[in-house]
Amino acid sequence: MKPLKVNSIRDVLLVGLLLLCFVASGCGQGAEQTGNEEAGEDIVVTDGLGREITLSQPAERILTSYGIATHMVFALGAQDKIVGYDSPSRNNAFFNKLMPELSNIPTPGSPAEFNLEEAMALDPDLILVPGRNMELVENLEEKGLTVFGVVAEDLEQLKDSMLNLGKALGREETAQEFVNYYENTLQKVKERTENIAEEDRPVVYLVGPMGLLSTCSSEMYQHHLIRLAGGENAGGELTGGWVEVSPEHLIEWNPDLIFVVQYTADTSPESIMEDERLQGIKAVMNKQVFWFPSTLNPWDYPSPQAVLGLYWAASKIQPDLFNDLDMQAEADQFFQKFYGKTYTELGGTLD
């Protein structure tokens, strides 16, 4: 570049104007901090809806209206960029432990509703919303905001989202590490479970959010999780989302294991063990009824910690194939790597 010659008032004004534009567009600090992005070169990422999003520099003020997106931001170590987040996450003990000042940050929305004015007042340069809410995506875009639709219904989409989000937030390295970790784990689990014959797959009944008699159909992530971990989903013949079944189903299916999600209602492994109706079921007779970890965050749906849920499920469903796995140590390692504190330090347990 040729150095600018300042030899007239007009030139001084021109440079001033250029500087003003530079500052106004917010380039200055961000570019310096991340360093590896050259000023002026746009960042182009693809969101979960397949839309291309262009940023002039990594986002510095992010607003998330979706719990899973908030999780992604934390896993990428970019939580200090949050200027607003989803209201259901306000009481999340895990987030608050990692970032005590979170409680002072506004929560302008949730996946269900969104306060547009409050959101705009926060002046975010990137808004993360659930990708399934097309209406919100379009609405925000019309207002001139930059929107990233997060879609993570399975592990593939989760990896994609993490990569693209990592790029948008200037955390590409972390995102890449995350994806590598996922691919390694998936590879390890797949190698051991892929060729298990149908008849050798233990039947797993997963207790869903609506109590003992709700379970996951074949269309849910949890179904694939059980398959991947070397089991057979008891409700695998059903369709829909979370489905209601009768106790007769449970007795008929006679599952070898029962997993209970953390966010269920009025059910616990203890209540299942004591349920007179279930005394003849293999899982109860062999005491194979467990909370699906973790005590910090549920690992049974596709959030950044889902990979640990896969490991855990595999170690319960196929204990002989995964007897080399120390779950607590694995979780500690993962948490240390992506959250800077071990799982144990944060108070997480596996029961």
Partner 1 sequence: MSIGVGLYSLPMEVIFELVSCKLTNRAVPSELFSPSVVFWSVRLPRAIMALLVGAVLALAGTVFQGVFRNPLVSPDILGVSAGAGFGAGLAIILVGRSALAVQSMAFIFGLAAVVAAYQIGRRSRSDSVTVLVLAGVIVTAIFTAGLSFLKYVADPYEQLPAIVFWTMGGFSDIVWKDVYWTLPVFIAGTAVLFFLRWRLDLLSLGDEEALTLGVDVKKMRVLYISASTLIVASSISTCGTIGWVGLVMPHMARLIVGPNHQFLISFASVLGAIFMLIIDTLARTISSGEIPISIMTSVIGAPFLAYLLLRQEESNF
Q: Which residue ranges make up the site for partner 1 (CB under 8 A)?
A: 88, 91, 112, 209-213, 237-238, 240, 243-249, 251-252, 254, 262-266, 275-277, 279-280
How far apart are alpha carbons 294 and 313 in whole angstroms? 12
Closest approach of partner 1 to the CB of residue 282, in Å: 11
Q: Residue 120 is which amino acid?
A: M
Closest approach of partner 1 to the CB of residue 350, in Å: 18
Q: Pick between residue 162 and residue 204 the one whose CB is nearest to partner 1.
A: 204
Q: Pick between residue 107 and residue 318 the one whose CB is nearest to partner 1.
A: 107
How far apart are alpha carbons 308 and 316 in whole angstroms? 12
Q: Pick between residue 40 and residue 209 the one whose CB is nearest to partner 1.
A: 209
Closest approach of partner 1 to the CB of residue 124, in Å: 23
- What the block records as the tokens of 284 is 């109860």
Q: Pick between residue 174 and residue 294 the one whose CB is nearest to partner 1.
A: 294
Q: Which long-range contacts (CB under 8 A, 24 or more apart) does 2-11 make?
A: none
8 A C-beta contact, residue 34 and residue 43: no
Closest approach of partner 1 to the CB of residue 204, in Å: 18
Angle at 41 between CA 163 and CA 77, to 5 degrees: 35
Q: Pick between residue 132 and residue 249 the one whose CB is nearest to partner 1.
A: 249
Closest approach of partner 1 to the CB of residue 217, in Å: 9
Q: Give the distance from CA 327 to its chain's centroid.
A: 20
Closest approach of partner 1 to the CB of residue 244, in Å: 4
How far apart are alpha carbons 31 and 34 in whole angstroms? 6
Tell me which H or E stretch contains 150: strand 147-150
8 A C-beta contact, residue 73 and residue 169: yes
Q: Pick between residue 55 and residue 243 the one whose CB is nearest to partner 1.
A: 243
Three-state SS across 179-234? HHHHHHHHHHHHHHHCCCCHHHCCEEEEECCCCCCEEECCCCHHHHHHHHCCCEEC
Q: Pick between residue 228 and residue 281 the one whose CB is nearest to partner 1.
A: 281
User: Phi and psi for 252 in degrees, rounded to 5?
Assistant: -65, -45
Closest approach of partner 1 to the CB of residue 278, in Å: 8
